Structure 1
Amino acid sequence: MNSDVEVIRAGALMGVTHGFLGRRGGVSTGVHAGLNVGKGSKDDAEAVERNRRIATDAVLPGATLITAYQIHSADAVTLRGDADPAFRPEADALVTDRPGLALGILTADCAPVLLADRKAGVVAAAHAGWKGALAGITDSTLFAMEALGARREHIHAAIGPCIARASYEVDEAFVARFTDDDPENERFFSAGKPGHAQFDLEGYVAARLAAAGVGRVDALGLDTYADPDRFFSYRRATHQREPDYGRQIAIIGL
């Protein structure tokens, strides 16, 4: 695996310290080869810790990395003051206005969302899998940012590498969850094989952010499933019957 870490940046967040990282770089080997930062993986714990430091230094050198114990919820946690790097709240979004903290979200097909209001000095990182996205994780994140002084029209958001519509086959019950919530959600599904459809997670998350009044939303259009050299993918690992899978990280900070 190449020792050089790839940091992907979004135009919407220029001027804000951030980065979407894939699997390139890092010290892990085997099915976790590269920059695996997942503490919940079966990777060597020391390798994971080294990768987390490498990832943090690639985006915000010297910062304290804070990640959540992600539970596919709509829960957002606000970090104030100094934070213990061992602190892992059960939540799916982190929000702060404090310099020196690197907010990190781990994914392996779900959508990482980084948000910032540069004028207010407020940043956030959210994990939007389909459950959390439907439950309103982006809305919870915006409310938490507003509580720190952000304004929605000033917030810019970017959606990083996630599984794309072409790679995301779902069944009819899955489709019904979204269309029962809002019939207009049908537009995020296209025809698949009999009894199935293809789901546009990135498009759904972008639409929710836009509908909530976010000033700018960028979707990077990078498919984790289809690009094994650059990204980890839970679904790809499952389809290939691999024993485990790695996680990549998206980081933002002040």
Structure 2
Amino acid sequence: MANLTRHDDTDAPATISGQAWPGVNYFCTTRAGGGSRGVWTSFNLGEHAGDDPTDVAANRQVLRAGLPGEPCWLRQVHGAAVWDADLGCYAVCPTGADGAARGGPEGEAAPPADASITERPGQVLAILTADCLPIVIASSDGRALGVAHAGWKGLAAGVLENTLGCLRKRAPQAASWRAWIGPGIGQVHFEVGGDVLDAFTCKDSGARTFFAARPAGGKWLADLAGLARYRLQRAGVSDIELSGECTYRRDRLYYSYRREHVTGRMATLAWLTGASDLP
């Protein structure tokens, strides 16, 4: 079950996470505890969501105060590219990109990628979501870490498999892997067309079980979290925890692009602690 840290008597941001992992800190913010107004109320962390840049900067400053370092923000494009935050280059390139390309903070200089990896303690990985899934992947020994932004396009394109593959290359000694699938849109609210069904089932008929046909025909309800867990399991991740949180349904706690279209973004942050008691 999800572990929600509330701050009912203060304006501090509330966050959500899963089980404690050795050597890893991770959490997803909610929409509570910031200074944004209107449809972005109140802890919007997305710079390109239409919010007042001053409010976003103030929210990010609050976030930064609780982190060991500056987050590695990505320019998310619903793809399957993976950024190596330690080396400052692509571990898996987007189509037509140069593997030596450099990136920086979120914005035009940030790398267009939907996942990042690290083995460096204190290197903070970050992704933004508002219905898509934030997914944290780590070696069970707490020495290698990745985060991924997984909407249906990224999932179908293999962003999770790419992230895990990069982590395995960086940490071949890791005996097992674990993952946390954070808040995202629930199946009952995620209506999609036949193109989405085809994207998952054209090469894997087993994915069909994660789609429920709508009575009117031609439309389907897709279980995004179920698809993510299924693909992680097939890739060899044995320990997977789902938050069970639906961003569309819980409007006071989460931003939802499908519910509101113009809205803010939550951030999922993760970093290695380098704890001295790791095996």
State the TM-score, normalizing by the size of structure 2. Answer: 0.82
Distance 1:251 1:212 in 2: 23
Q: Name the residue aligned to 2:275.
A: none
Q: Please state if 1:219 is matched with 2:242.
A: yes
| Counterpart mapping for 1:160-199 below 5 A | 160-195=182-217, 196-199=219-222
Aligned residue in 1 for 2:60: 52
For the structure 1 residues 152 and 81, does the alpha-carbon distance in structure 2 shift closer, same or farther, using more than 3 Å as the test?
Answer: closer
* Equivalent residues, number: 247
| Distance in 1 separating the partners of 2:240 and 2:178 | 6
- The partner residue of 1:67 within 66, 70, 73 is 73
Deviation at 1:119, TM superposition (A): 2.1
CA contact (8 A) 1:163 1:223 kept: yes
Aligned-partner Cα distance in 1 for 2:70–2:170: 20
Partner of residue 230, structure 1 = 253
* Cα 1:217/1:161, change in 2 over 3 Å: same
Q: Distance in 1 between matches of 2:202 and 2:114?
A: 24
Separation in 2, partners of 1:169, 1:153: 38
**Kindly tell me: are residues 230 and 120 of structure 1, through their superposed partners in 2, closer, same or farther at Cα, counting changes over 3 Å?**
closer
Distance 2:122 2:87 in 1: 10
Tell me the distance in 2 between the aligned counterparts of 1:112 and 1:247: 11
2:268 alignment partner in structure 1? 250
Matched, 1:16 2:24: yes
Structure 2 unmatched runs, 5+: 1-7, 89-102, 273-279
Give runs of aligned pairs for residues 74-223 of structure 1, distance below 5 A: 74-80=80-86, 84-85=104-105, 88-119=110-141, 121-149=143-171, 153-195=175-217, 196-223=219-246
Q: CA RMSD in A?
A: 2.1
Out of 28, 31, 40, the position equivalent to 1:32 is 40
For the 8 Å contact 1:80–1:96, the answer to whether it is kept is: yes
Which consecutive unaligned segments of at least 5 residues does structure 1 have?
239-243
Cα distance in 2 for residues equivalent to 1:187 and 1:251: 31
Q: Provide the TM-score with structure 1 as the length reference.
A: 0.90
Task: State the Cα distance separating 1:35 from its structure 2 match.
Answer: 1.0
Q: Distance in 1 between matches of 2:196 and 2:165?
A: 27
Shift of 1:44: 1.0
219-228 vs 115-124, greater mean Cα deviation? 115-124
Q: Structure 1 vs Structure 2: percent identity of aligned residues?
A: 33
CA distance in 2, matches of 1:103, 1:139: 18
Higher helix share: 1
